[in-house]
Amino acid sequence: MIPAFIVENSPALMIIVPLVAAFITPFIGRISHGIRSLWVGGAMATTSAVTLLLAFDVYNAGTRLYVFGASAASMALPPDSGGIPIRIIFEVDPMSALMLVITAVSGFAIVLYSLASEKSHSGLESYYTLYLLMITGILGMVSTGDIFNFFVFLEILSLASAGLIAYRIDGGVAVEAALKYFVLSTIGALAILVAIGIYYGEYNALNMAMIATRMQFSLLDQVALVLIIAALAMKCGAVPMHFWTPDAYSMAPSSITALLVVASQASLYGLFRTVFTLYNVTLNAFTVGWLIIILGILSMVVGVTMAIPQKNVKRLMAYHAVSQTGYMLLGVGVGLAVLGNQSLMDAFGYMAMEGGIFHIINHAMYKGLLFLTAGAIFLRIGTYNLNKMGGLGHSMKWTMIFFIIGALAIAGIPPFNGFASKLMIYESVFVFNPIIAIIAMVVSILTLASFVKVFHSIFMGPKLPEYAEVKEAPMPMLVGMGILALVVILFGLFPNIVVESLIAPAAHALVDQGAYIGAVLGGA
């Protein structure tokens, strides 16, 4: 049915299709706008299809290895190299496969949304080119097994996102936001490059499995660990390095903000891959685990308390993105703090990690949905200022329904998916340390409070005279939002199926360093 050639080469196709399509887009754009929309939609659909194919294959058959420049995966260790993998490889294990699923679904829904929301803007060939480049960057970051390759895709992602954040120049304010994001991003990426240099100098290897095999936790390795943790935590918006997040998320076009959420989670994936696969039990799991837990708690609390007084709806949602990242850091940090202690891991460690990882996919879905509704409202009214909005529930009914679904999901109200992952985090963290679980629950209540405020300001109230001719959002935007809302509802109604088939393999693959190394080096 699907040619074996495509299934075998799907990791390479996953990168090649959006990359080549991105560079051909400006030429196609000269023909007409309609053909360009078809081209971009088709390219993204093909990418999503190949990505989902790869993810499905990994979940069924186990970790997939793809060696660039060799004829088969068994050539990862060339016979005359003395057991050293010398080519760049893509190693897709179940945790990477989860991130691939998120990117495929979000990328496709958001490109459908963009076709309508960006129709009236100029410079669209740059928009779609950079969009496809952003997708390439995210897909490459989460599947690669080579740490310098990770850095290259990280930079592709940063450059494309910075260009897209500044897309609507907005009197210069969007460019200011992109500038702040990009300067911080560059300094962080340089820190990661120094860490990569340290690994190369010590172990003469750039392959993640090779570094993991040879890792001794010397002083230089500790420095490299700190550089990578700080840089990647800054890229995903952990407090106290989160200052760029509200600026960048509020000034980007809404579709790009939804994709920036996925990009931040790819950085979070990088953080987990470093800590769990490169180091695993060689690091002082208790200290580093508590470090990540403290980052998580600070993010949760500062994120939600800064969100409540905001007047700009996208800045408010951006602070909530910071807060929800705190939940993911908390869940996985608790898992890290008890790493190595098998009885505690079985008691609550795996559950905490599964909660954190489940929260990653849930957050991408409902946060993307919320940002897309904010964009739909902006398309119709032209402002993000909450003080000027009101009474839109009369005319924008579908947008209101999608907003309600997203707001209830983020606040952790049953039966949506936010509740399932938050329940897992609460129950496992409570066994670890009750006070942290109580802080997490209070943050959840404040999240609900702030979204009730947003809902009342935008949709409730009498029909205002200045918004009398506001119509519903156009159909492509509703379809894009509908895809994400459908995932939110389905994940909420069947959380056990999702956890068993998608999340638990990811959590176990993350913790199991031996399996990761064994896939490359052939039998630990």
Partner 1 sequence: MFWNLPLFAVVALTVVGLATIVLKKNLIKVFLGITILESAVNLFLISLGYREGGIAPIYTNAPATAMVLPTPQALTLTSIVIGVATSALLLSFAIIIWKRYGSIDIDKIRRLKE
Partner 2 sequence: MDLATTLVTGTGFWNPLAWILGLIVAFIIAWIIYSLGEKGFKQGTAQAEPFISGNPEPEKGMVHVRAGNLYWGYMEALKGYYDRLVPIHTGNLHDYVLWFLGITALFLVLVVVFV
Q: Is residue 471 classed exposed, middle or buried when 0-12, 13-18 and 19+ CB atoms within 10 A define those classes?
A: exposed
306 lines the binding site for partner 2 (CB under 8 A) = yes
Q: How far is the CB of 242 from partner 2 (least distance, A)?
A: 9
DSSP lists the bridge partners of residue 65 as 91
Residues 6 or more apart in contact with residue 112 via CB below 8 angstroms = 41, 476, 477, 479, 480, 483
Backbone torsions φ then ψ of 241, nearest 5 degrees: -120, 30
Q: How far is the CB of 111 from partner 1 (least distance, A)?
A: 23
Contacted by 348, from partner 2, partner 1, none: CB < 5 to 8 Å by type: partner 2
Q: How far is the CB of 181 from partner 2 (least distance, A)?
A: 10
Q: Which is nearer to partner 2, 16 or 179 (CB)?
A: 179
Q: Which is nearer to partner 1, 60 or 122 (CB)?
A: 122
For tokens 């905001």, the residue is 310
- The whole-angstrom separation of Cα 285 and Cα 8 is 37
Q: Which is nearer to partner 2, 224 or 517 (CB)?
A: 224
Contacted by 472, from partner 1, partner 2, none: CB < 5 to 8 Å by type: none
Which of 38, 169, 308, 475 contacts partner 2 by CB under 8 A? 308
Contacted by 171, from partner 1, partner 2, none: CB < 5 to 8 Å by type: partner 1
Q: How far is the CB of 16 from partner 1 (least distance, A)?
A: 19
190 lines the binding site for partner 2 (CB under 8 A) = no
Q: Which is nearer to partner 2, 214 or 463 (CB)?
A: 463
Contacted by 227, from partner 1, partner 2, none: CB < 5 to 8 Å by type: partner 2
Contacted by 194, from partner 2, partner 1, none: CB < 5 to 8 Å by type: partner 1
What torsion, rounded to 10 degrees, do the Cα atoms 321, 120, 16, 19 define?
-90
Q: How far is the CB of 255 from partner 2 (least distance, A)?
A: 24
Whether the ω angle into residue 415 lies within 30 degrees of 0, i.e. cis, is yes
Q: Is residue 157 classed exposed, middle or buried when 0-12, 13-18 and 19+ CB atoms within 10 A define those classes?
A: buried
Q: What is the 3-state secondary structure (H, E, C) of 481-518?
A: HHHHHHHHHHHHHCHHHHHHHHHHHHHHHHHCHHHHHH
> Binding residues for partner 1, per CB under 8 A?
148, 152, 155, 159, 162-163, 166, 169, 171-173, 175-180, 182-183, 186-187, 189-190, 193-194, 196-197, 200-201, 206, 246-247, 250-251
Contacted by 182, from partner 2, partner 1, none: CB < 5 to 8 Å by type: partner 1
442 lines the binding site for partner 2 (CB under 8 A) = no
- What string of DSSP letters covers 255-298? HHHHHHHHHHHHHHHHHHIIIIIIIGGGS-HHHHHHHHHHHHHH
- The whole-angstrom separation of Cα 445 and Cα 390 is 24
Around Cβ 443, how many Cβ atoms within 10 Å? 23
CA atoms within 13 A on the CB side of 477: 26
- The whole-angstrom separation of Cα 463 and Cα 455 is 15
Task: Write down how long the chain is.
Answer: 524
Q: Which stretch binds partner 2 (CB under 8 A): 43-51, 88-96, 141-149, 280-288?
A: 280-288
Count the residues of the shown chain that bind partner 2, applying the rule CB under 8 A: 69
Q: What six digits make up the tokens of 10?
A: 């799907």
187 lines the binding site for partner 2 (CB under 8 A) = yes
Contacted by 251, from partner 1, partner 2, none: CB < 5 to 8 Å by type: partner 1
Contacted by 169, from partner 2, partner 1, none: CB < 5 to 8 Å by type: partner 1
Convert residues 204-233 into a mask of x (bound to partner 2 by CB under 8 A) and - (unbound): -------------x-x--xx-xxx-xx---
- Helix then strand count (H, E) for the chain reads 22, 2
Q: Is residue 201 classed exposed, middle or buried when 0-12, 13-18 and 19+ CB atoms within 10 A define those classes?
A: exposed
The site for partner 2 (CB under 8 A) is made up of 179-180, 183-184, 187-188, 191, 217, 219, 222-223, 225-227, 229-230, 234, 240-241, 243-244, 247, 284, 287-288, 291, 302, 305-306, 308-309, 311, 347-348, 351, 386-387, 389-391, 414-415, 419-420, 423-424, 427-428, 430-431, 449, 453-454, 456-457, 460-466, 492-497, 499
